[in-house]
Structure 1
Amino acid sequence: MKTLKSRPSAILFSCRARRGVLARGLNTTREIAMPEYLSPGVYVEEVDAGTQRIPGISTSIDRARWQSLVAEFKKTVVPQAPAWTDSNDTDPGVTLLELFAWLTENLLYRAHDIPERGRNAALRAATALSVLGHRCTTECATLTRAHFFAGQLLDAATLQAEQDYHREKLRRHNRMLHGFGIVSGLGVHVEATSDPGGGRVIVDPGYAIDRCGEEIAVCTGATLAFPSVGNEAFVSLRFWEHPCPPDSPSASGEPDVTRVEEACVIGFAQAVSPPALALARLIRADGGWRVDPAFVPPRAGAVMA
């Protein structure tokens, strides 16, 4: 895999693959749609990290990404404040919001683009909501599965409930029988190069289970440039899913997402928060980076009784 020299940057495997990998740098956002093609199965994208832009790389957000952002926001807010997402046509606040939305839409139509400040704010919000929306619970609550009968009308909610049941069963199986951590591979090592950065971090292909019980496959590994700041950083890995762009619009004219890619994010972080996994700790010493041999990453199979 090629190492991207420009920062901030990221590597994203295509939605056409069963699993994907998204690489990101320290204290930066790496989960923005509209990636640019780099090589077969690999795409590069620019993010807002408070640094210089990458020439020729787009940060625009398509309609499918906006819809995904709204869905993540509602999923995160509803358990905490259901009234915030209720639809009430008689609420004056709703009327004002609709008016402001109409005015904003007209202004954006005239400008033919989203302002830079708004785009950056949306990208930061998308990343924060992505993390909040995928927090898991390890409580052993009762499961409910769908029951089918002849002549039943199968709607999207019923089919989604069927998927959720089997996915949660698998998560519980993984958590209770295997625990969390690295299953195989995912070794991290530093390789010196002649690049201006002085080297790169290589994550080997492998398999892992996070604290939620989600299975994470890194099929081809990842190569990242060294962190640009700090003297210590963790190499983190976490499960990430996102909607694949629709092939064609639906009968209503709106793009319906029919596939969701189960991918993962590999990056640098000063602290790794669950359900993400820390694969290694990097230390800067004598002007270079090395893997801390004293750090032991979690490994699946060590389930406490």
Structure 2
Amino acid sequence: MNTPTDHTPAVLSYSPVVLSVPGRPVDLEVRVTAPVTGTALPVVLLSHGHGGSHHLSSLNGYAPLAQLWAAAGFVVLQPTHLSSRTLSHRLADAPGAPFFWRSRAQDMSDLVDRLDAIEKTVPQLAGRVDHDRIAVAGHSLGGHTASLLLGARATDPDTGEVVDLTEPRISAGVLLAAPGRGGDALNGPRVGWVPFFRSTDFSTMTTPALVVAGDEDDSRHFTAVGPDWHADPYRLAPAPKTLLTLFGAGHLLGGISGYDAAETTDENPGRVAALGRLTAAWLHSRFRPGDPGWPAACEALTTGDGAVGRVEST
């Protein structure tokens, strides 16, 4: 398998940055991971999944991916959403519990609103962030959050309201093992947990996005469609979209949510490293048109006998 070089630039990680948000039942806490050097750094807002672990679904998770992206030149912001199990004992009866699907998207807009404060709080970061180049990424339930920010719509099952949470300041997105279409495709035993999945409409998701799906990610608790369900945001959304299908990958895509995490069924550090390189290269291609990193990464990692996956685009 072809993987990125072992040399990794130094990064810094700072947490928590604590932000008071009017109307939010608890403060918004954020981890910031950034390269030690460099200026005009683009931002990636990373939305955690729900998961079976407590602390991985918070600002304390996704270190493998956050560090890879920071080393590639991004400032990564990881909020602890209200759906985090670290908060469940305090928010079990709060409106929107347990998944807080609308609040999760609002968290990301709040982070964009407060970029100045975040930049000034984190040591060595002031003056180094590009506020005009912002992307969102999300894994699993976080992928649903990211899709809403990129323009997908959903109907609130409690009110019947069609909800538009598009964030126009976000210009690119990465959906990692994100939920697919609703309707008849949702026929698994746990569909009742996530009624807001039923109405997801990708036809309005116009912001450019890279959709990442594992070819062994069979979410039978939600659907009988099989791993292809996670490719729906690519197939059902308007161009430009890119699909990266990772060979042999399950729902944790090799282990993106944490090092040696018990919930990872397909642990593969090489796959995570390749995913980090490919996603970072794709993001750079959106922020710096003509950047050669994306075709180079695709040539190195998705062709030949050692290919980690395949890429297709609309």
TM-score by length of 1: 0.25
Q: Considering Cα pairs closer than 8 Å and 6+ residues apart, tell me whether 1 or 2 has the greater RCO.
A: 1
TM-score by length of 2: 0.25
Bigger radius of gyration among the two: 1
